[in-house]
Structure 1
Amino acid sequence: MSTAHAIVVHGGAGTSRENEDGCTLAAGLALAALRRGGDALDAAVAAVVSMEDDGRFNAGTGSVLCLDGQTIEMDAAVMDTRGRLGGVACITQVKNPVLVARAVADSPHWLLAGDGATRFARAGGHPPFHQPTDKARAAHARLLASLGERPAFARLWNYERPLDQAAESACDTVGAVVRGADGHFAVASSTGGSAPSLLGRVGDTPIIGSGFYAGPDGAVAATGIGEQIVRHLLAFTVYQWIAAGTPLEQALQRGINLFDPAVAVGLIAVSYTEQATCSNRAMPRAIIREFA
């Protein structure tokens, strides 16, 4: 059994590494949670809350606006080796979806979606929050220029507001994996969705085995194009390689190699003795290892 804490944080495949200080801060807050006596899940959630509050990452406060220019739909999930598992999909008007996912883990269910997830958040004391950042508004404004390039969205449009915007790519996720000195593992992830996307779109972030997985041999979190990640059950696939004894960096690179280089994808993971990251795009990250 390991005698060292390990924390790995990412800010999204394809996100500028200029934002890496946000990952460093998040990892530090995770370590502080462990030093206060928190467990691996407490630490993972603390890291993700920090990135949701940052505003530069596509999660929580920094989430992208949907194509209608009004809606923000977010996903988040948590899992650990103590049996806790919770997620939210297409939740709206909350500041920290990962905290709602953590609350779901203590409910009779593992995943809540849409209006039900938002109502669950209100019942749990999470106040309404809808303050798109200037960055999100500017990104949405740029969608206007490429409307003619996305006829599929005009055909499938499912928002109440008429279609008058089009396309900009955004698929970032934030995530953290943690190994506690007691040998338990945890993972937490959060995303502000993708742009462009139809109302109700869910990517890999809240799907167990795709965007995240934690088991007795480690924890894995994925980031990138969710529609591609789910086809490979990426997080669980990589976890199985780790459990079979594949060195961690080799397992992560093998996971990345499953994808065409044109598909943005990244992975972070911890095992009993290792901690690592791998991505085919720029990806802000931070790693902390500390003996207890």
Structure 2
Amino acid sequence: MSEQLQATVVVHGGAGGSRDQDDGCRFAARTGRDRLAGGASALEGAVAACVALEDDGRYNAGSGAVLCLDGHTIEMDAAVMDSQGALGAVACIQRVKNPVLVAQAITRTPHWLLAGEGAERFARTAGFPIHHQISERQRAKHERLMATLGSREPATPGVANRAFADYWNYDTPRVFNPCDTVGAVTRAADGTFAVACSTGGSAPSLLGRVGDTPIIGSGFYAGPDGAVAVTGIGEHIVRRLLAYTVYGWIAGGMPVDEAIRRGVDLFPREIDVGVIAVSRTETGMHSNREMPCAVVSAGDA
């Protein structure tokens, strides 16, 4: 029988976000904690927290997901995993409100990852309605991105702006958004762990781009010793299998705060990276950028 532990939820709103958005993270963490207190599983608590972040509109996920370069398309990724074997993810899904709920639904199928048109068709089969709304905030961010791409300032570290024009793969004529994610990790009172992540992708990016968020061991991992969620520039994160690397250190006995700081320190300063994690006795949050985040445990106000 699992030992009784203190139910805890840790969330982040994306590396490079503003700490002015901590209030949304606190609300999401409390939402997940309340679900755990009501008898929900670690996975249900993590998903509830992630849905709250997707619905907020200020984070690059769900309702706040960035526009692709064509100024109309929105492609999103999401993933869930727990320490009891549940695993589901979606990549490049369009026209859904809460990608993390679709990822959760995939845990009940024969597969772990669905992408693109197949993922959207599955969402309709699973009962998720068509949703495609573009806010003024999203349009304003897209206009700023277009201005950056037309300047000498690199829109993505280490990538020439002209590369996005050279390899343009949208249906619209070639013309000339920040890279972050939301995530939640939970520890239930029964000693089980879970993680849920969602992102609106990276901007700028070519159509069909997939980052670290739906890739097991890169953007997320959960096992019997804890759960880890990662945010930042996926093209760099996947090369380090960052979530699993940090999890391995925690499982080997390294303190959580040391493990996540060591993970972030694997990357040069110009690469946005953030990590949150929970173990049987500890929680941790660290980023080399400003990162909205929160932790709420049972008994907290």
Q: TM-score of the superposition, structure 2-length normalised? A: 0.94
Q: Does 1:52 align with 2:58?
A: no
* Displacement of 1:215: 0.6
* Displacement of 1:291: 6.3
* Displacement of 1:84: 0.4
1:62 paired residue number? 64
1:209 paired residue number? 217
Match of residue 268, structure 1, among 247, 253, 276:
276
Q: Is the 8 A contact 1:73 1:91 kept in 2?
A: yes
d(CA) in 1 for partners of 2:146 and 2:7? 47
* Displacement of 1:264: 0.7
d(CA) in 2 for partners of 1:5 and 1:264? 30
Match of residue 221, structure 1, among 214, 229, 237:
229
Q: Residues 180-214 of structure 1: CA distance to partner in whole angstroms, max 9, x if unpaired?
A: 11010000000001110000000000000000000
Match of residue 200, structure 1, among 204, 208, 215:
208
Q: Secondary structure at the match of 1:52?
A: helix
d(CA) in 1 for partners of 2:146 and 2:211? 24
2:90 paired residue number? 88
2:32 paired residue number? 30
Q: Secondary structure at the match of 2:81?
A: strand
Q: Is the 8 A contact 1:2 1:272 kept in 2?
A: no
Q: Does 1:281 align with 2:289?
A: yes
2:164 paired residue number? 153
Q: Does 1:255 align with 2:263?
A: yes
What is the Cα-based RMSD across aligned positions, in Å?
Answer: 1.2
Identity %: 63
* Displacement of 1:146: 3.4
Q: TM-score of the superposition, structure 1-length normalised? A: 0.97
d(CA) in 1 for partners of 2:45 and 2:185? 9
Specify every segment of 5 or more residues in structure 2 that has no aligned partner in the other structure, as ranges. Answer: 153-160
Q: Secondary structure at the match of 1:221?
A: strand
Residue identity matched to 2:292: P
Specify every segment of 5 or more residues in structure 1 that has no aligned partner in the other structure, as ranges. Answer: none
Residue identity matched to 2:266: L
Residue identity matched to 2:181: T
Q: Is the 8 A contact 1:84 1:105 kept in 2?
A: yes
Residue identity matched to 1:213: Y
Q: Figure out how many residues of one structure are paired with residues of the other and give that number.
A: 289
d(CA) in 2 for partners of 1:32 and 1:234? 29
Q: Is the 8 A contact 1:204 1:230 kept in 2?
A: yes
d(CA) in 1 for partners of 2:270 and 2:167? 25
Q: Is the 8 A contact 1:58 1:193 kept in 2?
A: yes
Residue identity matched to 2:287: S
2:112 paired residue number? 110
Q: Secondary structure at the match of 2:298?
A: strand
Q: Does 1:231 align with 2:233?
A: no
* Displacement of 1:144: 2.9
Q: Is the 8 A contact 2:62 2:199 kept in 1?
A: yes
Q: Secondary structure at the match of 1:204?
A: coil
